[in-house]
Amino acid sequence: MVTTNLGPISAAAPGALYEQVARAVRREVAAGRLKPGDALPSVRALAATLLVSVITIKRAYAELEQDGLIYIRQGLGAFIAEKAERELQKLEADAVGEALRQAVAAARKAGLSRDAVFAALFAEFEREDAK
């Protein structure tokens, strides 16, 4: 089992506790600290470490498994899936697509032209590139 930082998890932080755990695993995969084949902590061990219920960890692991980021082997534990990085990139691309759809709808509602939206988008890329 790989030791990695999945905490802190807090009721005061945004999102449900299981979502925070799932986000933490996604973050560690995206950063390369969790790699395909790496074992995650057992449900009970992670619940004890993060001071959350076993149900919270089970729900987080179920969400991650549904998204194709981990696989669970009964009696063996949870592991990072071989395709985790690709699946994470796909999920992130889907989220970007949704954000762009919302931005286009907001721009149309505000009466902005396509050229004005493209100019704003390119300016944002320039700002990011300058960092």
Residues 74 and 26 in one domain: yes
Under DSSP, is residue 75 helix (H, G, I), strand (E, B) or coil? coil
Taking only the tens place, the pLDDT of each residue in 18-66 is 999 999 999 898 888 999 999 999 999 999 999 999 999 999 999 999 9
Assign residue 78 the CATH number of its domain: 1.10.10.10
Would residue 91 count as lying in a domain? yes
What residue numbers bound the domain in which 121 lies?
A: 85-130
Residue 38 lies in a domain: yes
3-state class of 11 per DSSP?
A: coil
SS3 89: helix
Q: What is the reported pTM?
A: 0.69
Query: Domain check: are 68 and 97 in the same one?
Result: no
**Is 36 in the same domain as 69?**
yes
How much is the CA Rg of the chain, to the nearest whole Å? 19
Same-domain status, 48 and 70:
yes
For residue 2, pLDDT over 90 is answered with: no
Q: Assess if residue 66 is contained within a domain.
A: yes
